[in-house]
A and B are shown apart, each in its own frame.
Chain A
Amino acid sequence: MTGSTAIRVENLSKTFDTAAVLHDFTLDVRAGELLALLGPSGSGKTTLLRIIAGLDFPDAGRIVFGAEDATKLPVQQRAVGFVFQHYALFKHMSVADNIAYGLNARKRSERPAKAEITRRVGDLLDLIKLSGFADRYPSQLSGGQRQRIALARALAVEPRVLLLDEPFGALDAQVRKDLRRWLREIHDRTGQTTIFVTHDQDEALELSDRVAVLDKGRLEQVGTPDEVQEAPVSATVLKFLGDTIEVEAIAQAGEVRVDGQLTPVVAPAGLVGPVKLYARPWQLQFAEADRAHLHGTVRSSYRTQGRQRIEVDRPGGKTVVVEASDTARLAAGLPVGLRIVGGHVFPN
């Protein structure tokens, strides 16, 4: 399924007032993939999605759908399905009328027959597991149900690409998790090319085939969740994908030392001198003082989902968070040594 390029975003630039939100942005979206646009707020991800949909227009660059240049194509003719963060359901219409809206909006000659529309709406309601809700109104539904209706409404027009703008952003944690899994299922079943915008790393990494990490209007990295986690191309990507501990280090001949002690981290060729080492909380282990890279005292610790997180104060006022299995609790004030067992280095 996944393979050929469905959408090509080429050298896209966009400026609002005087602030540039996209700089010379290029990205290929493969047919049938579920792609996450991940970035902090203000990274340009929503603007990119809106430009692909035709709800905004770029200052420069092209949008190509398959072989067709869609840059100037009006939104109605792009055949995209857009799902909004706050659903944007039509409040005065029943669920069935909401889902049928795109079909009813077609020209008479292209509009399916009434019975056909009813059948399609029924199929979609089955797909989103809300059969029996056809005559309800949006105000009678929960947030999760509304978002599913919004998705069905977008799918009804059989779009070339499904675009979701922070689709779970307005929902509470448990509903988010359920909907994520459910969206993945729908995607696996329909094979619909899908792009979704999120600022939630877990969401992007759990749900997508590939993740595009955006920062300040530029594409930092695009790759599978494994690729971006195992081989982040920049400190920005690494920091954005999860909690990190930042340590001063020295790189030489591929080796990285912290406080004179050799670490297992490998420096890329050509990176020599003072560097920054970034490690995840679980890439630090408690160790005897003579084997430790870092020293400090325990400030506090707390448990979360079977793991223990310990905050350690380092000399100089920096605090690092260490994750360890939930065994012995460490008392505050206890002096500890920490050994780095993994991580990445980037230039200062």
Chain B
Amino acid sequence: MSKAIPHGDIGRPASVVTEGSRVRWLLIGTAIAFLALFLVLPLVTVFVQAFAKGWEAYLAAFTEQDAHAAIRLTLIVAAIAVPFNVVFGIMASWAIAKFEFAGKNLLVTLIDLPFSVSPVVSGLIYVLVFGAQGLIGPWLIEHDIQIIFAVPGIVLATIFVTFPFVARQLIPLMQEQGTAEEEAALTLGASGWHAFRTVTLPNIRWGLLYSVLLCNARAMGEFGAVSVVSGHIRGLTNTLPLHVEILYNEYNFVASFAVASLLAGLALVTLAVKSGLEWRYSADIAAGARGH
């Protein structure tokens, strides 16, 4: 008979795909140190700086009129951009996952465009189209429509930057689910809309919620594209991230970090809810897989 396969030496890891303990700890240690230096430390700094002059100075940053205006504008922008992207995202994913048509791959690629292009460039595109010297700028001026350096421009730029979130999330989910359940609903006499409401939507609800959350976080935090189209008019066209920058440039560090802490807090809440959803959502996907 052939020779027996040699047994592992003592001290060897149990699995062949696991490195020796020294290498393992080096890798884990590097990862933790990296995260601490580049993620945790800055986050802590935000809160430390925000509270550097005490609780009252922190609160004072929010009693300012301009801060109120910035918060209000950020909420308005998110309240328009997020629902728009939800509707667009569902429509695009539906089209891509459930129909066959020419140019489908191109559409998928285009949806990814905002992720691959620098936000500053996306902002500039809007200035070039809608600005005073832009393509339809003169026509807009003639009709007294202000887009650039006004709220519509900010909303447009935000929509552009955040529109992949919902679609990217839903396309694979809908593709995985196929069309059999919708077909079943139609054969049972349901209209297309009824089938969508009672079958499609419940099947994608967790993925949808998850993507809305990420989309919202990005919509509220977007800086680059909004910065280009906003014009930085205090109290009028400043969103929270822009307000942070202005305060910082004015050496008003406490107020700047206080407002920044609001955004950081939003990010933390988003992360927490996202983890919760991921947990819930993966259980849902597993149930779906069992359903087949």
B187 at the interface (CB under 8 A from A): yes
CB of B188 within 8 A of CB of A101, answer: yes
Q: A75: which B residues are within 8 A, CB to CB? A: 183, 186-187
Q: Give chain A interface residues in 127-172, CB to chain B under 8 Å.
A: 138-139, 150, 153-154, 156-157
Q: What is the bound-complex CA distance between A154 and B291, given in angstroms?
A: 18
A102 at the interface (CB under 8 A from B): yes
Query: What per-residue 1/0 map shows which CB atoms of B121-137 lie under 8 Å from chain A?
Result: 00000000000000000
CB of A91 within 8 A of CB of B291, answer: yes
CB of B189 within 8 A of CB of A91, answer: no
B292 at the interface (CB under 8 A from A): yes
Q: Assuming A55-B187, A75-B187, A102-B189, is B180 touching A91 (CB within 8 A)? A: no
Q: B189: which A residues are within 8 A, CB to CB? A: 76-77, 79, 102, 105-106, 157
Q: Assuming A91-B287, A92-B203, A139-B291, is B188 touching A55 (CB within 8 A)? A: no
Q: What is the bound-complex CA distance between A75 and B179, given in angstroms?
A: 15
B290 at the interface (CB under 8 A from A): yes
Q: Give chain A interface residues in 88-102, CB to chain B under 8 Å.
A: 88-92, 101-102
CB of B290 within 8 A of CB of A76, answer: no
CB of B188 within 8 A of CB of A91, answer: no
Q: What is the bound-complex CA distance between A137 and B202, given in angstroms?
A: 14
Chain B residue total in the interface (Cβ 8 A): 21
A32 at the interface (CB under 8 A from B): no
Q: B199: which A residues are within 8 A, CB to CB? A: 90
Q: Assuming A55-B183, A88-B181, A91-B291, is B202 touching A105 (CB within 8 A)? A: no
CB of B190 within 8 A of CB of A88, answer: no
A53 at the interface (CB under 8 A from B): yes
CB of A80 within 8 A of CB of B187, answer: yes
- Smallest Cβ distance from A43 to chain B, in angstroms? 21
CB of B291 within 8 A of CB of A138, answer: yes
- Smallest Cβ distance from A31 to chain B, in angstroms? 20
Query: What per-residue 1/0 map shows which CB atoms of B198-232 lie under 8 Å from chain A?
Result: 11001100000000000000000000000000000
Q: What is the bound-complex CA distance between A89 and B203, given in angstroms?
A: 12
Q: Assuming A88-B180, A92-B202, A105-B194, is B185 touching A139 (CB within 8 A)? A: no
The chain B residue with its CB closest to the CB of A86 is: B292
- Smallest Cβ distance from A66 to chain B, in angstroms? 18
A82 at the interface (CB under 8 A from B): yes
The chain A residue with its CB closest to the CB of B287 is: A139
Q: Assuming A88-B181, A90-B199, A92-B202, is B290 touching A139 (CB within 8 A)? A: yes
CB of A105 within 8 A of CB of B185, answer: yes
- Smallest Cβ distance from B292 to chain A, in angstroms? 6
The chain B residue with its CB closest to the CB of A78 is: B187
- Smallest Cβ distance from A245 to chain B, in angstroms? 40
Q: Assuming A91-B203, A91-B291, A92-B203, is B188 touching A153 (CB within 8 A)? A: yes
Query: What per-residue 1/0 map shows which CB atoms of B165-192 lie under 8 Å from chain A?
Result: 0000000000000001101111111110
CB of A84 within 8 A of CB of B180, answer: yes
Q: What is the bound-complex CA distance between A82 and B189, given in angstroms?
A: 11
B42 at the interface (CB under 8 A from A): no
A81 at the interface (CB under 8 A from B): yes
CB of A82 within 8 A of CB of B203, answer: no
Q: B292: which A residues are within 8 A, CB to CB? A: 86
Q: What is the bound-complex CA distance between A22 and B44, given in angstroms?
A: 68
Q: What is the bound-complex CA distance between A302 and B292, given in angstroms?
A: 36
The chain A residue with its CB closest to the CB of B100 is: A17
The chain A residue with its CB closest to the CB of B186 is: A75
- Smallest Cβ distance from A50 to chain B, in angstroms? 9
B288 at the interface (CB under 8 A from A): yes
Q: What is the bound-complex CA distance between A75 and B191, given in angstroms?
A: 10
Q: What is the bound-complex CA distance between A7 and B63, given in angstroms?
A: 76
Q: A101: which B residues are within 8 A, CB to CB? A: 185, 188, 190, 198
Q: What is the bound-complex CA distance between A338 and B187, given in angstroms?
A: 54
- Smallest Cβ distance from B287 to chain A, in angstroms? 5
- Smallest Cβ distance from A156 to chain B, in angstroms? 8
- Smallest Cβ distance from A141 to chain B, in angstroms? 10
Q: Assuming A55-B183, A84-B180, A105-B194, is B291 touching A89 (CB within 8 A)? A: yes
Q: Assuming A84-B180, A86-B180, A105-B194, is B288 touching A91 (CB within 8 A)? A: yes
- Smallest Cβ distance from A53 to chain B, in angstroms? 6
Pick the residue among A53, A76, A79, A82 that contacts B190 (CB under 8 A).
A76
Q: B180: which A residues are within 8 A, CB to CB? A: 84, 86, 88
The chain B residue with its CB closest to the CB of A92 is: B202
Q: Give chain B interface residues in 263-292, CB to chain A under 8 Å.
A: 287-288, 290-292
Q: What is the bound-complex CA distance between A54 and B189, given in angstroms?
A: 11
Q: What is the bound-complex CA distance between A14 and B83, given in angstroms?
A: 41
Q: Assuming A86-B180, A86-B292, A88-B180, is B287 touching A81 (CB within 8 A)? A: no
The chain A residue with its CB closest to the CB of B180 is: A88
CB of A82 within 8 A of CB of B287, answer: no
CB of B184 within 8 A of CB of A84, answer: yes
Pick the residue among A53, A91, A92, A139 that contacts B187 (CB under 8 A).
A53
Q: B291: which A residues are within 8 A, CB to CB? A: 89, 91, 138-139
10 A-B pairs with CB atoms under 8 Å apart are: A75-B183, A76-B187, A84-B184, A88-B184, A90-B202, A91-B288, A105-B194, A105-B198, A138-B291, A153-B188
Show the binding face of B for A, using Cβ within 8 Å.
180-181, 183-191, 194, 198-199, 202-203, 287-288, 290-292
What would 16 more interface pairs be, CB under 8 Å, given A76-B190, A105-B185, A105-B189? A77-B189, A84-B184, A86-B180, A86-B292, A88-B180, A89-B184, A89-B291, A91-B203, A101-B188, A101-B190, A105-B188, A105-B191, A138-B291, A139-B290, A150-B184, A153-B188
